[in-house]
Structure 1
Amino acid sequence: MTVSQNWRQICAEKRNFRNLSIPEPWLLSQTGYSQESNLLSIPNTCGLLTKKELHITSEYDAVGIVAAIRDATFTAEEVTTAFCKRAAIAQQLTNCLTEIFFEEAIETARILDKERMSNPTRPLRPLHGLPISLKDSFKLAGKDATIGLVCFVNKPAENDSALVALLKRLGAILYCKTNVPQTMMTADSDNNIFGRTLNPNNTKLTAGGSTGGEGALIALRGSILGVGTDIAGSIRIPSSCNGIYGFKPTSNIVPYGGQQSDAPDGIVGINPSAGPMATSMRSCHFFMEVIMKANPGLFDCSVTKIPWLGIKSTSEKLRIGVVEDDTLYTPTPPLRRALRESVQKLKAAGHEIIPLQLPDVLANMKLIWQMFSLDGSAHLNELLHSTNEPLVESVVRTGLTTSPGKTLKEYFHINHDRTLACEKFTSVWKQYGLDAILSLPAPHTATPFDDWTVITYTSLFNLFDCPAVIIPVGKVKDIDVQDDSALYGEKDKKVYYLYTGPEFYRDAPTTLQLIGQRQEDEKLVAIATVVDSLLNGAN
């Protein structure tokens, strides 16, 4: 057997193992689903979920489920079984899962229920019985964390990642992990091991990345709260593509340690962060509150020990800076409309809107790409070459694997330039007295496969290490017709004309991004709750 054949066999065997992890009674019996572009209604109509399971998975967010278990409306076993079944359906529709351990999760739920019956007066833990899904990069002892690279197949983790250990301590039930791109550095969750995750809103469009499997799973309510990571938009891009809520914290607020990575140990560049993806804003709020109150520094020594202050949502007038575009790529008609309509609602509610233009965008984007290739992707290339695994198309298009490495002197200059960029961005907050910044997550909605190349709207806030949240505000509408409004030259036009009109992009979500100041994550959560209630009528 040649090395080239070997990587294919490894992938085929891994996929087969994953597929056999779905119980046979949970397999979809109909075959016509592949002809549908919008899959969101299929879990409710396929006949696999009981009336009670549909109620559990369709009518509650994470906060509601925790409350329903606490008041004994449901048992942990009932809830976990329902979400495992719905996750199995989501997997068959969109190819969103990597590791499946439903039986273990249900057994854990049974143990929680027995412990509660034996000690009915003992206070329940904050996440008691709540099923939480995880991006594939999180390590669970005994499970693979392949992160889309063949070299990590059949190499189960010896220990849990820090956040995994904390979630277990808090009473959460972990039941599956979700698909990512090869290298975790593109906006298309496609790799040689598991293949491509589809967008359940419109299967012709990308589910985003790198936490794309999580985005698709939550959109189908196979999960109502999952955890992703973000170094350039990897929580926010798939949240935008799939029309869910996604919160990227400041780095080192939520434990990140102990994850699988394709970067060399000890490299210091743009810090990634871990954060929630959910079906509601209050679920993101709930996750951040529970984690920040749980003394996370005991699980990850790099955590910044910022206390949860109990900031209440307020209806007082906010000063919100609005960034209409990034000065490089023109927003397409659906997102221009979504931003315009949202700003009108905020103004009508009495909030003050301040037009903004981000400083030095082109220079800062060049800086970001330099920081993504400090070692010239030497370590990543070693991992790929160890199995002769080829690159998938979205990775080829980034060009990251061919970027040259940096000398120590260049590295010093890069870090200095980042400090100057952060100082200049911080001065914007001070100059205008802002509470938050409202922008778009991209110049477009979800795109066709492998075509998402613009990360300006998200990665700048990784460079500045600011918290940011995605708020869904609707879908592409028939009025969002194609026009000729590209402002910034040929590169802009190429991206702008990816949008061909509402027919091809039907049901694609429209979303906004709300940004806060560094390490003011709790304040941003409170502001985002207010903004979400105005834009979506959420409680």
Structure 2
Amino acid sequence: MMESITSTLQLLTPKDVWNVFAHTITIGLIVGTVFFLDDYRIKIDRQNQLNDWIRRARQEKASKEHKVLDMALDDESKMELLTAKETREQILAKTLDPKQNVAFLAKRCRAYNQDRKYGVNAIAEELYDEAYETASSLDKNVTADTAPPLYGVPVSIKESNGVKGTFSTGGLACRLNKRQEEDSLPVELIRKAGAIPICTGNTIQLMMLAESTNRIWGRSRNPWDLSRTPGGSSGGDAALVAMGCVPLAIGSDIAGSIRIPACFSGIVGFKPTSTRLSGKGCMKPRKDDKAGSGIAIPATGGPMAKTVDDCFLVMKAMCTPDLWESDLNVPPVPFKEEIYLDQQSKLKIGYFTTDGWFEPCATSKRALKETLDALTKAGHECVEFEPPTDGWHNYGLLVGINSAEGNFKSFLEALEGEECINEYSTLIRASNIPDWLRWILVRVLDKRRAHLLGSTRNGGISVFELWKRTAELLSLRSAWSDAVREAGVDALVYPGFPIPAAPHGISGDLTAAVSYMFMPNLLLWPSGVVPVTTVRTDEQHYRMEDLPLNQRDKAAKITADRVMKNSEGMPLSVSVMTPAFEDEKCLRVMKEIERLVDFKAEPSAYKKYR
């Protein structure tokens, strides 16, 4: 056989060899081109399909009939913007008609959201007539003692949380192929508690940045300044609460997605203990709803409202036997109302002013100082707390676990043919840097970017490396638990988001600023934010000379040039955190800060164009 082949080869001239080579290359090019064109055709067909679905969803939203919007109110001039607690109390006292209240808020939602040029665009889908029908069917025979905690309260639901009859997309066009057939468990629970969903709130594609924009419903704006974002990923809902379109909203939080929008929008936001509530029935922004990192850092639902009392009502409504009987993975921990209502006992508060990774702006530092001064003046003991790990360690660990797969893989898979929005471009580029180039860049870039690049790998990390990072996460949790126990403090108070709401489109370049927000997610602890103050004229700066040497970099320059400039009047908050399953105490501390600081500022930018 070999002799035959050798003889044949000896008969070939150089020209014959060249012809064979040329024909092989030609055939290869043809086959490759065919496959390329076929893949390209499939890609274009998929994008066209997704665009058709987007057009259809928008048309359905635009053409949906809302009879309640044409309904005349008894005396609209006397209608008030009420908290959830006030709404419940007035309905029970027969001084507020729940149907009239729904109609009033529906008109307000439409007025401040619809306009394409000036509207805040916080709403994904409108449920006004459905809400009116629910309000009409409320049991009229209940009393203050027998009425459920959220009786008659209109609410906005983050669109990823799964409301029957709506799309639950997480900003992904591929999820427009069908509507929710049933309520998720969180929505089911608040309905049982008497709440009335009136709309769903907009979010960001893939739900992983501090903005709320996607190709389906567009970009949400901040009611304090329309050129800025209301945050994300629960940004639409936060804007609705800030404008008084709804008294209450239900969001979700995996790295600050409730608390960042609350900070940016000047409202209260609360993330419960990460395993205390259920996400059963809520979509996950990954292909086939499979998010592997969620086993280490789970998402949790939670409330956003104008007051801490309203967040308390949500926790009271959801922490019931209906919760843990419907989801056996949730520990049966009743809500201890008496701990929250104890407004007499004095507290020992630990505090820290910086995580060493992202220095808070001047307003954020003042907000923390004013809060601590108010707590001390009221008789509470405030002691400095030394965090057992700093932001450099914490941030590297979060990035290392969330990006363990490499190359933004599960995020891009979740798009199922849709293009990623521009806000993710920095993260995508960074995740695809070859490791040989990554090794060089880590040695020449500024320290923060180098640190993050060093926490990731092109192609992902090994199972052993992921195991080590998971072990580090467990060690971090033990260290913080021991430190808080040894300090003997009831809670920790520290900066909220360290800078005010950013202009649209730059969240991907400011992910470093999220470090204060995701710490409770790493620990699985409850945490909330309370608005304290607004940026003053002389605080619209972020001076390099005020920063540690290892923070004088691109992120700091963007903060100085784009975030702090013209930021006067934007709200800033403080954060509160307690150990796991001490949600009631966390809310108790938040309530005390709210009472003592008495933040009164309200957004007005959204009103200027009506």
Using the size of structure 1 for normalisation, the TM-score is 0.88
1:426: Cα distance to partner? Answer: 1.0
The partner residue of 1:106 within 132, 135, 138 is 132
1:423 aligns with 2:461: no
Structure 2 counterpart of 1:437, which letter? Answer: L
Structure 1 partner of 2:329: 302
CA-to-aligned-CA distance 1:168-187 (integer Å, 9 cap, x gap): 22222112111111100000
d(CA) in 2 for partners of 1:269, 1:101: 35
Any idea what the Cα deviations from partners look like across 1:417-452, whole Å, max 9, x if unmatched? 111000111122122111111111222111112333
Which SS does the other structure have where 2:546 is aligned?
coil
1:155-199, CA deviations, whole angstroms, 9 ceiling, x for partnerless residues? 112222111111222222112111111100000111111111000
What is the distance in 2 between the residues matched to 1:218 and 1:314? Answer: 26
Corresponding position of 2:393: 363
- 1:4 to partner: Cα distance: 3.6
CA contact (8 A) 1:467 1:520 kept: yes
For residues 481-528 of structure 1, what are the alpha-carbon distances to aligned partners after superposition, in whole Å with 9 as ceiling and x for unaligned? 424412243555633652458761132111111111111001111122
Cα deviation per residue 1:383-437 (whole Å; 9 max; x = unaligned)? 32x3x31111222233487564444333322221111000111122122111111
Higher alpha-carbon deviation: 258-267 or 175-184: 258-267
AA at the equivalent of 1:116? K
**Between 79-88 and 61-70, the greater mean CA deviation after superposition:** 79-88
Give yes or no for the alignment of 1:245 onto 2:275.
no
**Distance change >3 Å, CA 323–CA 122, structure 1 → 2:** closer
Aligned to 2:62: 19
Aligned to 2:177, what secondary structure does the other structure show?
A: coil
CA distance in structure 2 between the aligned counterparts of 1:258 and 1:537, rounded to whole angstroms: 36
Matching of residue 280 in structure 1 with residue 280 in structure 2:
no
Distance, in Å, in 2 between the alignment partners of 1:502 and 1:455 is: 16
Q: Which runs of 5+ in 2 are unaligned?
A: 1-43, 433-455, 601-610
What RMSD, in angstroms, separates the aligned Cα atoms of the two structures? 2.6
* Partner Cα distance (1:97, 1:143) in 2: 12
Contact 1:324 1:440 in 2 (8 A): yes
The equivalent residue for 1:328 is 357
- Structure 1 equivalent of residue 258 of structure 2: 235
* C-alpha distance in 1 between matches for 2:326 and 2:69: 36
Alignment deviations for residues 5-51 of structure 1 (CA, whole Å, 9 cap, x no partner): 44334323322322334749959xxxxxxxxxxxxxxxxxxxx9968
Q: How does 1:249-260 map to 2 (within 5 A)?
A: 249-260=272-283
Q: How many residues align?
A: 512
Q: Aligned equivalents of 1:532 and 1:103: distance in 2?
A: 35
Please give the alpha-carbon distance, in whole angstroms, between the structure 2 residues aligned to 1:496 and 1:215. 28
Give, in whole Å, the separation in 2 of the partners of 1:342 and 1:528. Answer: 11
> Which of 318, 334, 352 is matched with 2:381 structurally?
352
- What do the CA deviations read for 1:263-315 (whole angstroms, capped 9, x no partner)? 35372220111111001111111211222245421232222211222213334
With over 3 angstroms needed to count, the CA separation of the structure-2 counterparts of 1:120 and 1:455, relative to structure 1, is closer
TM superposition shift of 1:210: 0.5
Greater CA drift, 301-310 or 181-190: 301-310
Q: Distance in 2 between matches of 1:276 and 1:220?
A: 16
1:77 aligns with 2:99: yes
Aligned CA distance change for structure 1 residues 103 and 206 (closer, same or farther; 3 Å): same
Q: Structure 2 vs 1, CA of residues 429 and 53 (structure 1 numbering), >3 Å: closer, same or farther? A: farther
User: Aligned partners of 1:295, 1:151: CA distance in 2, in Å?
Assistant: 32
Counterpart among 422, 426, 439 of residue 494 in structure 2: 439
> Aligned in 2, Cα 1:299/1:510: closer, same or farther, shift over 3 Å?
same
Q: Aligned equivalents of 2:57 and 2:203: distance in 1?
A: 15
Provide the C-alpha distance between the structure 2 equivalents of 1:468 and 1:271, rounded to a whole number of angstroms.
Answer: 14
| Alpha-carbon displacement from aligned partner over 1:298-333 (angstroms, at most 9, x marks no partner) | 232222211222213334332212221110111112
What is residue 479 of structure 1 aligned with on the other side? 538
1:510 aligned to 572, 575, 580, which one? 572
State which drifts further: 226-235 or 95-104: 95-104
8 Å Cα contact 1:281/1:532 also seen in 2: yes
1:184-223 to 2 correspondence within 5 Å?
A: 184-223=207-246
Q: What SS is found at the alignment partner of 1:253?
A: coil
Shift of 1:351: 2.0
* Paired position in structure 1 for 2:517: 458
Residue 319 of structure 2 aligns with an amino acid whose one-letter code is M
Question: Matched residues in 2 for 1:57 and 1:401: separation?
Answer: 50
CA distance in 2, matches of 1:106, 1:369: 45
CA contact 1:345–1:535 (8 Å) conserved in 2: yes
Query: Is residue 201 of structure 2 the alignment partner of residue 158 of structure 1?
Result: no
2:348 to 316, 319, 325: 319
Q: Does structure 1 conserve the Cα–Cα contact (< 8 Å) formed by 2:357 and 2:551? A: no
Residues 57 and 222 of structure 1 are in contact (CA less than 8 Å); yes or no, is this contact kept in structure 2?
A: no
Greater helix content: 2
- The structure with the largest alpha-carbon Rg is 2
1:337 alignment partner in structure 2: 366
TM-score by length of 2: 0.78
Measured in 1, the distance between the counterparts of 2:460 and 2:72 equals: 52
The residue aligned with 2:203 is 180
Question: What is the distance in 2 between the residues matched to 1:525 and 1:488?
Answer: 37
Distance 1:160 1:292 in 2: 18
Identity %: 27
1:34-45 counterparts in 2 under 5 A?
Answer: none
Question: Measured at CA, do residues 140 and 420 of structure 1 come closer, stay the same or move farther in structure 2, by a change above 3 Å?
Answer: same
Which of 3, 7, 10 is 2:53 aligned to? 10
Paired AA for residue 352 in structure 1: E
Kindly provide the amino acid, as one letter, of the partner of residue 356 in structure 1.
F
- Structure 1 unmatched ranges of 5 or more: 28-47
Per-residue Cα deviation, 1:365-384 (whole angstroms, up to 9, x for no partner): 11111222344453432232
Cα offsets for 1:74-109 (capped at 9, x unmatched): 222122222222222232221111121211111111
Match of 1:42 in 2: none
Kept in 2: contact 1:49–1:82 (CA 8 A): no
* Cross-structure match for 2:584: 522
